[in-house]
Amino acid sequence: MSQRETLNGKLPGGAFLGRALHRIGLRGRGLVIAIPVLWLFLFFLLPFLVVAKISLSEAAIARPPYLPLWNWDDGFLNITLNFGNYLFLFDDPLYLSAYIESVKIAAVSTVITLLVGYPMAYLIARSAPDTRNILLMLVILPFWTSFLLRVYAWIGFLKGNGIINNILMKIGLINEPLVMLQTDFAVYIGIVYTYLPFMILPLFANLVKLDQSYLEASADLGARPITTFFTVTLPLSASGIIAGCMLVFIPAVGEFVIPALLGGPDTLMIGRVLWNEFFSNRDWPIASAVAIVMLVVLVIPIMLLRKAQAAEAEVQ
C-alpha cells in the first residue's frame, strides 16, 4: 500500500490529480450521487412544487403577478389557499372543452400515427441488415432537423395557394382551393408528421427482436399470414405499441407549436391555452392551475408508458 503510494508520487502530473480524485471517489460516493440528485431536485422537482403553490394563490397586478400564500399579520400566520383557480377551470367551458379537445386530437393523431408507423416499422425490422440501417437512418434524420421548420414547411403545403392546392387544381380535381390550413385537419397532419419517428422507433425495437421462427412455426401449423399477424406478431408487439402510442400521445396533449402554426383560432388545445394565459393574460395562477390539471390528465398515460417500457426492457 505505502509502496504503491510512493511509486505513484514519482509519476509526473496526472498521477496527483488521479490520487486526489480517488481520495474523493473512495470517500465521496455520496458526493457523486449528490450531483445529479441535487440538480434534478432543484431544477425539475422543486419547480413543480412552486407551480402547485402558485396555482393556489390569487392573481394580482404586481411583480410577480400573484399574491403570497401566507403572511404575518399582528403575530398571526395567515394562510390563504385560493381554490378559485381550479373552480374557475371547471366553471368556464373554455378550459373543459380545451382539455377534451386536446385529448381527442392527441388520441386520433396517435391512432393515425400507429396505422402509418406500424407497417413502416415492420418493414424496416424485416429488411436485410444493411437496408435496415439505411431505412432507420431515414426515419431518424428528420428528427435531427429543426422541428419548428418542419412544421413551418406544412404551411407552404396546406395553405390556400399552397403546393397541394396548386397540384390539385392543375390536374383539374378541384376548381376552388381547399381550406386546409388553420383547421383541425392541419393539426392532425402536423402531429402525425412530427411524432411519426417516436412511434416507429419503439415499434422497430420491439419487432426486430421478434424471432422469425415464431412466424414460420405459425405458418407451419397452418395459419395464413394474416392470421399469423393477428395471433402472433401483434400480441407479441403489444408493449412496443403501447410505448410508441404513449410517446406520441403524451407530448401531443400538451403541444403548443403545431396548433399555433397550423390550427385555426377555434382549435383549442390546452398547451395553447396555457401559453395564452401566461403570455397574453399574464394570469400566472390560472396558468399554473391549467398545468397541474394537465399533469393529472397525463398521469395514467405516463404510468402506461413506464409499464410498457419496463416490459420491453425485460424482453431484452
Partner 1 sequence: MGQQSRFLKIVALLGFVFLYAPIVSLVIFSFNESKLVTVWGGFSTKWYAELFRDPQILEAAWVSIKIALISATLAIVIGTVGSFVLIRFKKFRTKGLLSMMITAPLVMPEVIIGLSLLLLFVAMQGLIGWPGGRGMLTIIIAHSTFGAAYAAVVIQSRLVDMDLSIEEAAQDLGARPVRVFFGVTLPVMAPALLSGWLLVFTLSLDDLVIASFVSGPGASTLPMVVFSKVRLGVSPDVNALATIIIGIVSLGIIAAALEISRSKKHGAER
Partner 2 sequence: MTTSQTSTTAKPWDAPDAVPFMQIKNITKKFGSVVAVENVSLDVYKGEIFCLLGGSGCGKSTLLRMLSGFEVPTSGQIIIDGEDQAGVAPYDRQTNMMFQSYALFPHMTVEKNIAYGLKRDGLPKKEIATRVTDILSLVQMDGFATRKPHQLSGGQRQRVALARSLVKKPKLLMLDEPLGALDKKLREETQFELIKIQESLGVTFVVVTHDQEEAMTLSSRIGVMNKGEIVQVGTPHEIYEFPRNRFVADFIGSVNLFEGRIKEDGENHVVIASPEAGTDIYVPYAVSGVEGQQIAIAVRPEKMEISKADLGDMRNRTTGTVDEIAYMGNVSVYHVLLDSGKRVRVSQSNRTRSNEDAPTYGDRVNLGWAGRAGVVVTA
Can you give the binding site for partner 2, defined by CB under 8 A?
Answer: 1, 4, 7-8, 10-11, 15
Which residue lies nearer to partner 1 by CB, 87 or 148?
148
| Cβ pair 117, 191 in contact under 8 A | no
The whole-angstrom separation of Cα 270 and Cα 284 is 15
Which residue lies nearer to partner 2 by CB, 9 or 156?
9
CB of 17 to partner 2, least distance (A): 15
Which residue lies nearer to partner 1 by CB, 17 or 74?
17
CB of 19 to partner 2, least distance (A): 11
CB of 208 to partner 2, least distance (A): 23
State the binding partner of 139 from partner 1, partner 2, none, CB within 5 to 8 A by kind.
partner 1
Cβ-proximal residues to 280 (8 Å cutoff; 6+ apart), any chain: none
| Site mask for partner 1 (CB under 8 A), range 47-86, x = bound | xx-xx--x---------x----------------------
State the binding partner of 142 from partner 2, partner 1, none, CB within 5 to 8 A by kind.
partner 1
240 binds partner 1 (CB under 8 A): no
Task: For residue 70, list its beta bridge partners.
Answer: 79
CB of 83 to partner 1, least distance (A): 18
State the binding partner of 69 from partner 1, partner 2, none, CB within 5 to 8 A by kind.
none
CB of 310 to partner 2, least distance (A): 21
The whole-angstrom separation of Cα 88 and Cα 277 is 13
Q: What residues between 153 and 212 interact with partner 1 by CB under 8 A?
A: 153-157, 159, 161-163, 166, 193, 196
Q: What residues between 118 and 157 interact with partner 1 by CB under 8 A?
A: 119-120, 122-124, 135, 137-139, 141-142, 144-150, 152-157
**For residue 30, what are the CA distances in angstroms to 26, 27, 78?**
10, 8, 39
Q: What residues between 252 and 281 interact with partner 1 by CB under 8 A?
A: 253-257, 260-261, 271, 274-275, 278-279
| Cβ pair 290, 98 in contact under 8 A | no
State the binding partner of 175 from partner 2, partner 1, none, CB within 5 to 8 A by kind.
none
State the binding partner of 180 from partner 2, partner 1, none, CB within 5 to 8 A by kind.
none
Stretch that binds partner 1, among 79-87, 88-96, 232-240, 300-308 (CB under 8 A): 300-308
